[in-house]
Amino acid sequence: MKYRSDIKSMTPNQLVSWFLIGSYSYYELGHPVMKDRTFDMLVERLKQQYNKADHPHKYLITESHLNATTGYDIKYPSIVKYATMNYIRGDR
């Protein structure tokens, strides 16, 4: 489980990764990896840091996603799916 303290220390690229992991785990797997309030905090930080990120999957996250605090309609790449499943299993 990710916590607000984890979000506070994330780099812009980590925020992108965890936005995707958080959305995928919630919408596709039904197994949230963070509480809603924590995800909301992640989104606020990502909004502030978005231009500093150079993550290869940043393009998947639109302004609409950030404004709605959701990634429900993203077509998640395999690496996000596997990273999420590994995290849930405890393979950090």
Residue 91 is predicted with a pLDDT of 57
Tens of pLDDT, residue by residue over 11-24, are 999 999 999 999 99
CB 42 within 8 A of CB 8: no
Domain ranges, ordered by start, for the chain: 4-89
Tokens describing residue 24: 């995928």
The H or E element containing residue 38 is helix 36-49
Closest CA to 33 of 20, 44, 50: 20
Tens of pLDDT, residue by residue over 30-70, are 999 999 999 999 999 999 999 999 999 999 999 999 999 99
Cα 40 to Cα 19: distance, rounded to the nearest angstrom? 10
CB 33 within 8 A of CB 86: no
